[in-house]
Structure 1
Amino acid sequence: MNTPAKTQDCTPLDPEVTGIRTLGHANRFAVWDSEFRYDGRIRVPVGVKIKEIKYSYYGNGQASQGTAEFKRGQGGTGEEYEVIDLTFLDDADLITFTLRGDLNVDADPRPAYSRTYQIRVDVTLDTGEVRTATPEIEVLAGAWQHSDPEKVGRPFVRLPYDTGWGGTPNSQAGFGYVTDNGRIPGDKFIIDLVNLRQGEKGVPSSNSDHVYYQLVHEDGTPSHYTPTPQLQKAEGHRDSGTGRKVTLPAIDLRQLGDKPGYYRFLVWPQSADPDGSPSSLRWDEAKPEDAFQLGSVYYRYKAPASIDTGLRATIKTQNLTATAGQERWLYPAFVIRNTGQRTIGTTKVVFTAPEGLLFIEDRVAFTRSEDESHEPVALGVLSADRRTLTCPAVPLDLVPGRPGKDAWVSIYPAMEVEATAPAGRALVGIQLGQPAFATAQDTISITRTN
């Protein structure tokens, strides 16, 4: 592990207080469907309102696209937002909103099968304060040919937009849908399964005829309607026609006994190889990170008054140096200390890397203050572009700090620097918990030899 040249303590971050808490968003779609859907919540001082919301139309980090405010539950098709809920606390207000609009992130990612963008959202309050979030989207290739690399042409489901798939009042009304009585009409959840390899003889992943889907509450528990991901027959096709869509029947969450709150509509496209066996290129319904979010529902929604997990941590970060294309691996370390009143037990940890840096292993190593010679590992999942490493269960097991006891955990993913890495500062991020209770960034200063 590298010795840090410089360290700094990062204070805990609650996105709802200092930024925007992301409830859900359209996280993955093909270049055909370059659209933005986002649901978020902010905690503001009493009486403060939203003045405007802008987002990054080009996925370039600049929130330049303005939006108009629409009436709650109106469900339009332009660049607009709706305030879904105002919850008044003793010392703050909670504002929950849904945001929608067009994007221009439809560049063909080939030879890679997808490209990742961070879409910046800026919420400007009437006090002048700006709250920011940067949800990540994966944009898949919309074409395939025999010479393409292996993963190009994975199956996908369309992100319905405008009126192309029918529905009332439009095809995209199932995202940010508001139901105060629990009923979701039968034209809100639309599934359109595309397989660019459909019918190709002797080609892996050449047949798609079903998906899995699930409704999942904000707290991670499934709706009674879908206690597990449910199989839904659908006709896979390789063209952009919308006539083979499948719509789910009407759902009554109240009758099912579901609790009020925010629900994500998740779909996992499936495909089979020529011998009929499930293809390795399908999207695994056992992995939440493989899901496409195609919709969302606010059912009798009222923001929870108590969203604080009670967990607190500081994360000491590093400044490291590297050279583009170097053979030596990097191990950016994050040193975590518990500054709260509760023990931090087994925790979800997510690492993110910018252009030019890649995670090498689907695991992360760590050491503890009580035994620095012991180096356990926690398993994780790498994103397709190897720029996100998600470790769903890292046993941090950190007790609250106390005088004379400096307990810490140092955690360090293995990384490499691409030969094409641009010179300059690159930030490697870490997020603890879901929802996050602490984040930080290591700085990698990259130089080039030519």
Structure 2
Amino acid sequence: MIRNRDALASSRDHELALDCIEAAIDAAAPEAAVRSNVGLDGDVLTVRGTDYDLARYDEVLLVGGGKAAGGVARTLESMLGDRLSDGLVVTKQPVEAETVRSAVGDHPLPSERNVAATADLLELVDAADERTLVLSVLTGGASALLTAPAGELAVSDLRETTERLLEGGVPIGEINAVRKHLSTSKGGQLASRASPATVVGLLLSDVVGDDPSVIGSGPTVPDETTFDDALAVFERYDIDPPAAVRGYLASGADGDAAETPFADDPAFDAVENHVVGGNATALDAARSVAADAGYEPLLLSSRLRGEAREAAKTLVAVGEECAATGNPVEPPAVLLGGGECTVSVAGEGGRGGPNQELVLSAALELDEPHVVAAVDTDGEDGSSDVAGAVADDSTATDAEDARAHLAANDAGTYLSDAGATIRTGPTGTNVNDVVVVVVPE
């Protein structure tokens, strides 16, 4: 899986860190998530303990989007066979399937082809009736790939807004509160458009805490945020949105545009959402690999967030404590973390993403022979073409140069030159980031 593994596996501890990363990504594969949570017995489809009698429906549609949506759709189609009437998913990679069509879109910024593909998907949903079962597949990346601009907004307005929010280090939940109110599909609106159909959401989580309303901006989930909340995000982070975006949000706050549907909306009477996989699945697999290697595994948290470079310091500090005192776990040990850290972009033209920033920041802190690895499970850290990086106490030997690259949000360049970046290519899944700290004996 790791294409440059031979170059990175310079010691037993490096090998173990890479083993943990590979196991985590493997365990989060959409095929595994579906088969662990979905079953079919005759005409009864069971999703996480809830039964759906397919004989009650004239049509079964499969729609959705995200980086892992293709794998989920392909697996569901193999289970359902000719019971599946039609389907369309918007992904970054084409899907080979018989019934479910795939449209290739762009991420992390929306594009015109995302808009065109989403319009086709919504046409399917709009035609659903009470004898239709809609299987809605949402995975990480769906917020960008499923793009349906509200009002008179152009896709360029959404691109610019997304870019400013991402560069401003805004947490994903607040970014999605904005996205929901600039869309006609997010924030429960897809479910509303499908009503009175039965809607079953199958969600592969890429957000901290697995909140269904945040995954993919919650197209099938009630939205408790408002236009005022969306406007407040820009004020809170001192970000200036495009004029058209500010104007539309302000008009919504004044009551000139409909709010996204709340939980008491009757459209949700026939909607159920199921989280079929997430970061915890990946971390459990990494924990098993560490234990099998004779290292004591310790899962610190699946909810890492905040600035990546600051989170790194805490992780290194815990590793130092282990080495010095045997607390909270006796070495040899593997400390595991997951979540979604952010980067506030100050530099221009830098390379990298949150995981590379975390690793370079950790390398600057290390004064013990520990190994730190961090990846985005989708294989693309931020907007870069690498998954993340792995480092030890010898990676940032030129501390002044390393700090300069970190300050310029250019961790990727420094780590690439040091031969420390991890290359997987697109993995077909997306369950947030995985961080591994190996504390040797």
TM-score class, shorter-chain normalisation, is under 0.3
Q: Which structure is higher in RCO with an 8 Å CA cutoff and minimum separation 6?
A: 2
| Higher helix proportion (structure 1 or 2) | 2
